[in-house]
Amino acid sequence: MRLRQTLLLLLLALAIGMFVALDLGRYLSFEQLKASQASFAQLHAAQPFTVAAVYFLLYVAATALSIPGATLITLAGGAIFGLWQGLLIVSFASSVGATLAFLASRFLLRDWVEARFGQRLADIHLGVNREGGFYLFTLRLIPVVPFFLINLLMGLTRMNVWTYYWVSQIGMLAGTAVYVNAGTQLAQLDSVQGILSPALLGSFVLLGIFPLIAHRIVAAVQKRKVYARWADQRPKTFERNLIVIGGGAGGLVSAYIAAAVKAKVTLIEAHKMGGDCLNYGCVPSKALIKSAKLAHQMRHASNYGLRGAAPSFSFKAVIQRVHDVIKAIEPHDSIERYTGLGVEVLRGYGRLVNPWTVEVALNDGSTQRLTARSIVIAAGAHPFVPPLPGLDDVGYVTSDTLWDEFAKLDEVPKRLVVLGGGPIGCELAQSFARLGSHVTQVEMGARIMVREDEEVSALAKASLEADGVQVLTGHKALLCEMVNGEKTLVLEHAGAEKRIVFDQLLCAVGRVARLQGYGLEDLGIPTHRTVQTNEYLQTIYPNIYAAGDVAGPFQFTHTAAHQAWYAAVNALFGEWKLFKADYSVIPWATFIDPEVARVGLNEQEAKEKNIPYEVTKYDIDDLDRAIADSEAHGFVKVITVPGKDKILGVTIVGAHAADLLAEYVLAMKHGLGLTKILGTIHTYPTMAEANKYAAGEWKRKHAPQKLLAWVKKYHDWRRG
């Protein structure tokens, strides 16, 4: 604690100590106040300004120090100064004192609280930024909430000081008026409790409800304002309950839910049903990874007691298998299936004309206009292509185009450059290396998989290099050019240029939301990398929602489906109840070998956010099933609250890591700690036992050593 904080704390402690030591509280009794009423009145008549000034300062001090007795001091204000003068003095004194208490709490405690609970406070800070003044006003209107507690807790937030002052000034006015007025009738009161009659308490309840009603009114006014320019275009009736733009994971789930609750829904998709995941991402990449892993296992069959052999295969057959896998899964996302579920599916491009109307440019060349009470935008994302000079001249593929382009090749690319060290780049780099390509992976940053802990990045790099991938970190791509008929990539590293000759170049430097062509700009819907939404996934128009990659903040198929549930339910039933999207427990995985899977915080994020944590680690090289499968590498790393078994996050590196993670996702979602996992029976021998052993490591570290020492003495005694 800094010197100034220490001095302030000592001064506060001294002031409170003197209050207690001098028994000043005896003057803050109802009986004492009534007995002294005449004396105070005479003193005020003789020296009105001095009495007012002293009373003001005493009130400020009592409020700032959170000394009990504010109610009686307020009554005294009414008794001495009358209603209007008393209300004026008390109103300003209470607000000044509350603001001083607010500042003291901020100065003394906020840094410490943020250091310990920074991540958990993030949502509170966002809420305070959006509607902190409104909630403070609500609390000030309800006298049953201790005001000193409000001062203390609000000081821990990032609320503006001026906002805190004036909202407190206005919010406390009604309650202050009640108590000051009661003070003018002090002679007729028998006790403080007499002030809070049932009728008066009812009035306070109404005062507490009023801000909520006011909030509804303000929301209605804002809604009216945002729709004002479209008022003459609002349909009197709607042809549909919901229109969904985009047939990927987010769109499909939104349409499915709407159909399931018997709403009339139209799904618009111009290209392939199933979106990126089915056609270009999750499904084809995992099919390729499986083929590549089998080729790797054939080469290393000696690990299993067999004779190793170089795999003989047709690259065309490998890519054909990828397309066959897509075709096998296609029926799950097909037009026929969704039509059978009750969804109207239109093939074409949807564009917002107004907040309730979508114009569809159908693939057959015709157009159609649809109206709906609500709309969900689930347009997805596409690969980002860097503005690299010469890139178009030499040619390139992305994670979207490689499946069709590589299907034209007779052999695996001999020299493949992969731009990007994220999950997509790592998965594809390793797979093509295992299939026989000489792969060079280029990453501008200091390490690959930068969102993971450094040890995970290092392990991933070592694994890729073991498969023959040349991983170049800290290398910036400058340009592409043709040199003597060969495609060349020019890099910069440590101030020097480096050239790499290649046959194929794969851009895997990230994905960006599809924000153009849907009429967002015409309606003025804000976008910044993604469609901007609130916690209910609403845009500035409460009836227009966004879900999936186009909305962010995560670009995962399972997150898109998760958001789609909230978007669809809110779109259909939001007039009655809105649900906030829940991002508290989001799992993800990178399917390199060994797999990397994570949920919640990792150690890197905990440090960045100043969240206290404890690490428990179990090395999978000690796991029986992993040893039997020759997969004895990797670890389970659990981040917990210091001294407690509450799970903040888990990173697993190893075979089937993404599957093993599910147990921790469930535990975190439902508040189960490591002790519960340890107490769960896990089948032997399985990889899932790694979770149990990780929990056991935590338990071992937190064993009650002093108690065990006494238990040992007990057993020694029992042996005689």
Q: Please answer whether residues 654 and 592 qualify as being in contact, where contact means their C-beta atoms are separated by less than 8 angstroms.
A: no
- Which residue matches tokens 């003495």? 713
Query: Can you say whether the dihedral through the CA atoms of 54, 60, 62, 65 is positive or negative?
Result: negative
Q: Please answer whether residues 535 and 499 qualify as being in contact, where contact means their C-beta atoms are separated by less than 8 angstroms.
A: no
**Residue-wise DSSP of 574-589:** TTT-------SS-EEE
Taking domain 594-705, whether its CATH number is 3.30.390.30 is answered by yes
Q: What is the mean pLDDT of each run of 10 residues along the chain (720 residues)?
A: 58 56 48 54 71 79 68 68 80 84 76 64 63 70 64 76 82 74 58 51 51 63 82 91 95 96 96 92 96 96 92 95 96 94 96 95 94 95 95 95 95 97 97 97 96 96 97 96 94 94 96 92 90 92 95 91 96 91 93 96 92 95 95 96 96 97 96 96 97 96 89 89
Q: Please answer whether residues 694 and 616 qualify as being in contact, where contact means their C-beta atoms are separated by less than 8 angstroms.
A: yes
Residue 449 falls in which region: left (phi positive, over 0), alpha (psi -120 to 50) or beta: left
* Res 200: pLDDT: 47
CATH topology match: 240-383+513-573 vs 391-510:
yes
Distance CA 697, CA 606 (A): 21
Q: Which CATH number fits domain 240-383+513-573: 3.30.365.10, 3.50.40.10, 3.60.130.10, 3.50.50.60?
A: 3.50.50.60
* Res 228: pLDDT: 86
* Res 32: pLDDT: 53
- The residues spanned by each domain of the chain are 3-214, 240-383+513-573, 391-510, 594-705
Give the Cβ contact number of residue 491 at 10 Å: 20
* Res 106: pLDDT: 78
Distance CA 265, CA 343 (A): 6
Token pair of 421, please?
A: 């060290």
Give the Cβ contact number of residue 622 at 10 Å: 12
Give the helix/strand (H/E) hosting 560. helix 557-573
Query: Can you say whether the dihedral through the CA atoms of 550, 551, 556, 560 is positive or negative?
Result: negative
CB proximity list for 420: less than 8 A, separation 6 or greater: 441, 442, 443, 507, 508, 509, 510
Tell me which DSSP letter residue 109 carries: I
Query: Can you say whether the dihedral through the CA atoms of 341, 345, 350, 356 is positive or negative?
Result: negative
Could you tell me whether strands 496-502 and 486-493 are parallel, antiparallel, or unpaired per DSSP bridges? antiparallel
Residue 634 falls in which region: left (phi positive, over 0), alpha (psi -120 to 50) or beta: left
Distance CA 573, CA 167 (A): 34
Distance CA 230, CA 489 (A): 52
Burial 71-99 (b: 16+ CB within 10 A, else e): bbbbbbbbbbbeeebbbebbbebbbbbbb
Distance CA 48, CA 89 (A): 13
| CATH dotted code for 391-510 | 3.50.50.60
Tell me which DSSP letter residue 24 carries: G
